A = this chain, B = another copy of it.
Amino acid sequence: MIEADYVTTDPDVLAAYSSDQAGFVRAGRPVALARPRETADVVRVLEYAHEHRIPVVPQGARTGMSGGATAVDGAILLSLERMDRILDIDEVDHTATVQPGVVNAVLSKAVAEKGLFYPPDPGSWESSTIGGNVATNAGGLCCVKYGVTSDFVRHLEVVLADGRVLRTGRRTAKGVAGYDLVRLITGSEGTLGVVTEVTVALRPAAEKPLTALAFFHTSAAACRAVTAYLGTGRRPSVLEFMDKATVDAVSAYRDLGFPDDVGAVLIAQSDRGPAAPDDLEAFAVAARECEAMEVFVASDQAEADLLIEARRLVGVALGRLGDQLVDDVCVPRSRLAELIEGIAEIGGEHGVAVPCCGHAGDGNLHPTVVFDAGDPESVRRGQAAFDAIMALGLRLGGTITGEHGVGTLKRAWLETELGEVGLSVHQAVKRAFDPHGILNPGKVIHGKPS
């Protein structure tokens, strides 16, 4: 193994670094963990791995939900967590350049101090890293207005499979010089190269958001309200959905004074400052037209914080129900009601609870399959429900993952989504970047060298 102070083979440490947050995913047994501080160290790891044909598994904070950072047998785990310096924040060009181990929240706060704003806000933002966000093309609540991570990535430094350093992209607002390798690498989950430096676009700070919340009798009515609201041309900065099971779980965890017979909740935010009350009034009108039971529009920041609280509590409230697999499907917005209804049916058929919440404005839902990891029959039923949800998403013209990525968890389903030609092109691209298949092998696609 490479002799370097940033490499360890301590079995306890390796075990601690072997998994991310994905359910249903078995970790392999790695041979070493490298925690480099500089690009040159990453180059050395890749050169060594290339020479000896050793698999390399790049890792950020291991908060991913699909097994993208999970160890494979015989691999060097390559954690970028120590490469955590913010290299530059440019207040004129509105860009930041960072090492991959910078935590999203650290960057967000640093740019906020300069009156700037880094929008991508995955649920893991307080612990996940920019490198991990780039690897998975992370989304979040703000996407409905601002877009996902890849909409903000301008330039990357990437160590290739053989240790060469690729610098690709641009420092400019626009550019069409050559193929868009930045977009190709963003979201490729460490299978095409190891990102060692990222330049992201920033925006001037938005105003503090105001919030509105609407109760509906049914999910179908809530979905109609989403379409009606977005049809007005307003761009909410958040537009979230929670189904009855999710609302019930939150209410069981903390009494927020919600009515008993709530069938679904929508939460909208606007960060347009003086225009925010208008935006939220338009939301209220759309909700009432779609037979909302009640609509609350915050008139100040304290009320706004209270109304978004229900959404913030979802993770911890669902966590108390049992073991869980947080899924991630995205459908055309017009099919959202069918997706929600279908998921409820799937839960019933397989005898598992599947509370649903998510980013309604994007048609991106997170059904959470609740199961008992200690009961093989419950695990089996959970897995069957998970598969049925993937199939349903595809049947509705959707995708198997809106923002969590493929990893190993959804690799088989990706092949279904891509089809034969799509898979073959993916394999050709993978071979072009990684002819010996050492970069995060078995993630996203099988990627066997031809």
Q: With A92-B227, A275-B275 known to touch, is A180 a contact of B175 (CB < 8 Å)? A: no
Q: Which residues of B have CB within 8 Å of A93?
A: 332-334
A359 and B173 alpha carbons, distance in the complex (Å): 11
Q: How far is the CA of A208 from the CA of B248 in the complex (A)?
A: 45
A425 touches B433 (CB 8 A): yes
**Residues of the B chain whose Cβ atoms lie less than 8 Å from the Cβ of A417:** 177-178
Q: If the complex has contacts A180-B183, A180-B184, are A170 and B399 also in contact, measured as CB distance less than 8 A?
A: yes
What is the total number of copies of this protein in its complex? 2
A165: interface (CB < 8 Å) = yes
Asked if residues B179 and A426 are in contact (CB atoms below 8 Å), the reply is: yes
> Judging by beta carbons under 8 Å apart, are B418 and A177 in contact?
yes
**Contact of A160 with B by CB under 8 A:** yes
| Those of A346-369 within 8 Å (CB) of chain B | 359, 361-364
Counting chain A residues whose Cβ lies within 8 A of the other chain, the interface size class is 35 or more
B184→A332 contact, CB < 8 A: no
Q: Is the CB of B176 within 8 A of A187?
A: yes
Cross-chain contact A177 with B421 (CB below 8 angstroms): no
**Is the pair A332, B171 in contact by a Cβ cutoff of 8 Å?**
yes
Q: Is the CB of A173 within 8 A of B362?
A: yes
Question: Is the Cβ of A233 less than 8 Å from the Cβ of B203?
Answer: yes
Q: Does A397 interact with chain B (Cβ within 8 Å)?
A: yes
Closest to A203 in B: B233
Question: Which chain B residues border A148 with CB–CB below 8 Å?
Answer: 174, 176
Q: Does A26 contact B (CB under 8 A)?
A: no
- State in angstroms the CA–CA spacing of A177 and B166 once bound together: 24
Mark each residue of chain A from 88 to 101: 1 if its CB lies under 8 Å from any CB of chain B, else 0. 00101111000000
Q: Is the CB of A179 within 8 A of B184?
A: yes
Stretch in contact with the other chain, from A78-86, A296-304, A371-379, A403-411 = A403-411
Contact B398–A172 (Cβ < 8 Å): yes
Interface residue A259 (Cβ < 8 Å from any Cβ of B): no
B398 A171 Cβ-Cβ under 8 A: yes
- Could you write out 19 A-B pairs with CB less than 8 Å apart? A92-B332, A95-B332, A148-B174, A167-B419, A168-B422, A171-B332, A172-B331, A172-B363, A174-B359, A174-B362, A174-B403, A177-B400, A178-B406, A178-B445, A180-B186, A181-B425, A184-B184, A205-B233, A428-B432
Interface residues in chain A, defined as those with a beta carbon under 8 Å from any beta carbon in chain B: 90, 92-95, 136-137, 139, 143-144, 148, 150-151, 160, 164-168, 170-181, 183-184, 186-188, 192, 203-206, 227, 230-233, 275, 330-334, 359, 361-364, 397-406, 410, 414, 417-419, 421-422, 424-426, 428-429, 431-433, 444-445
